[in-house]
Chains A and B, each alone.
Chain A
Amino acid sequence: MGFSEKPADYVESRRRPKSYGDIFFHWLTVFLLVFFAVVMITPFIWLLSSSLKTQINIFQYPPQLIPDPIVPENYVYALTYKPFGTYFRNTILVAGLNVIAVVFTSSFCAYGFARMRFPGRDFWFGIVMATLFLPYAVLLVPSFIVFSRLGWVDTFLPLVVPPFFGGGAFNIFLMRQFFRTIPEEIADAARIDGCSEFGVYWRIILPLSKPALITIGIFTFLFAWNDLIGPITYLRSPDNFTIAVGLASFRSQTDIHWDLQLAASTAVTLPVIALFFLAQRYFIQGVVMTGLKG
């Protein structure tokens, strides 16, 4: 299911002729659709427009919608004021390791939960579900103590090592739901041909699960790109900052430089929106799969 679905208006026209009520309702829907679209999109336009204003124009009342003059240099100032290149590299490193960890270990665990039968399985799956409903914030302080004892503070380790242990309840759950839709006969055929259980997972199930793997990969990447609370808790030296922490510290240091803050914010948002347009299908699939298959 995706946004690009063909409109099925011919189904509508097959029905009884339209009454005045239908026509009224149709135009009410159109009006509301457009109205809320304007409400939803205006903050983005405001963000973009403000990020291109001069420091003087940004503090002007009434505000200009189209900046005059347009100052694209804001982006250059904002992104060089702080070493955003380093932040970007750090974020890609953390996010990349997270994606690798989640794609492989969550599918590995999910295989056990979805396609094998053994005593204790449902108990452990119950624990997976329990951790799903327990937010990260609850464990923030105690985990910090554990990681500081391990000497991991101000390294990427607290951010990249835990995902290698199961990849998070949410992803295990999602992969399990997907694996359960693959017919067992395919796996049985491989087993008869002498394939081991690992072989079935690696050669049969994983290749068939590419859409689901891409979906959790994208969500993991986005989470790592956007996450502030983890990096701000563990990373201390500016050389280790991720983009989220860099942007947050940029804000606290450039208090009234709204033009630069908004330019940096736009620059950080654009890759996410680009990713969304490239992989719309997987976004929607991910959101829908988490919600519907309970």
Chain B
Amino acid sequence: MTAHSANQGVAEGFWLTRQYNRLTLRQRRTLMGYVFIAPFILGFLLWWLGPAAVAGYLTFHKWNFLAAPKFVGMANFSKMIGDPILAQSLKVTIVFSVISVPLGLVFAFFLANLINAKFRFIAIFRTIYFLPSIVPAVANAILWAWLFNTEFGLINFVIRAFGGPKIGWLQDPNWVMLAFVILTVWGVGGSMIIFLAGLQGIPQIFYEAAEIDGAGRWQRMLYVTLPMMSPIIFFNLVIGFINSFQVFVSALLITNGGPQRATLFLVLHIWRTAFSSQKMGYAAVLSWLLFAILLVLSFFVFRYIGSRVYYENPGD
């Protein structure tokens, strides 16, 4: 760097300082605010809007990743409508979501009430109930593949010990969905802890008041606990739905989408379309489809369930 340009740099530094000093307090605050959130804005443009634009472009193209993308108009969309594999994949994902989310929610709520009891060793139980939810996904998939093993798995061993039949959990398309629901429900520890914190946040005084009014155990649950918990139930419901649309690791590693595509969850289908079949354009369309589904779903959840939630301090 020459002395000349170095001087210029210093001069520019001064120029910037002068400009900054010229700003009003309000303008300075705005500037500083944007400096602070700049990483997010940049990241949003680079890693969200950029890819979204790419996906938008690709929806009208056919691209196998090697040759140049070829314009195909609406072909990717019309292909989507008559695609039986996509229909199967949507069916699997929606059925799983509709069964596992409410079941997981009820089970987590039930467990949270159990571990909200006051016993000396309750901390141990809380830990045990939470542990399944921190097992790494890949290890979890291997563990459950082994538990559900038809011949030597523990689950069939217990069922047969009670005189039940040998179930082909991972081979029979009719049973495999239940297997996935079971392994999902086993890992509800996260929402359970959120419920537990909510339960502990309910002022004891409400229960005492209800008891004085003659409310029994069941009525206290129905008229104190449930209304007070409704924002948290709602939160866990939304998170549960979003997660249920993202099943990937267990579907890939336990069954690889089978048997007979009975566990071809949408994300797995998109992933395979892109990286096994190299159909990037069609995969982009499917990504948009997933986005649209989640958008519509969130809209309905917020519109019809969100409006029934009781907030103690609205707008806080």
Contacts and interface: CB of A to CB of B under 8 A. Distances in A.
Interface of A: 1, 3-5, 7-9, 11-12, 21, 25, 29-30, 32-33, 36-37, 40-44, 46-47, 50, 58-63, 105, 108-109, 111-113, 116-121, 124, 127-128, 131, 133-146, 148, 162, 164-167, 172, 197, 201, 222, 225-229, 233, 243-244, 247-248, 251, 258, 261-262, 264-266, 268-269, 272-273, 276, 280, 283-284, 287-288, 290-292, 294
A122 B41 CA distance: 13
A273 B189 CA distance: 14
Interface in B238-256: 238, 242, 245-246, 248-249, 252-253
A138 B123 contact: no
Interface residues of B, number: 95
B42 interface: yes
B245 A63 contact: no
A47 B201 CA distance: 36
Given A139-B48, A288-B197, 14 more contacts: A12-B118, A29-B114, A62-B161, A109-B39, A124-B37, A134-B294, A145-B54, A226-B138, A227-B137, A229-B248, A268-B138, A272-B135, A292-B198, A292-B201
B131 interface: yes
Contacts of B270: 137, 140-141
B158 to A, nearest CB: 9
A134 B270 CA distance: 16
21 contacts: A33-B117, A36-B114, A37-B129, A47-B146, A50-B146, A109-B39, A113-B37, A118-B29, A124-B41, A133-B238, A134-B291, A137-B248, A137-B270, A140-B287, A141-B284, A143-B51, A166-B40, A167-B39, A248-B138, A262-B142, A269-B135
Contacts of B123: 3-5
Task: Sort A-B residue pairs by CB-CB distance and give the 4 closest, nearest first.
Answer: A165-B43, A112-B36, A291-B194, A118-B33
Contacts of A41: 128, 131
B249 A229 contact: yes
A119 B30 contact: yes
A272 B134 contact: yes
Chain B at the A interface: mostly helix, strand, loop or mixed?
helix
A49 B201 CA distance: 40
Chain A at the B interface: mostly helix, strand, loop or mixed?
helix
A292 B118 contact: no
Residue of A120, A124, A139 with most partner-chain B CB within 10 A: A139
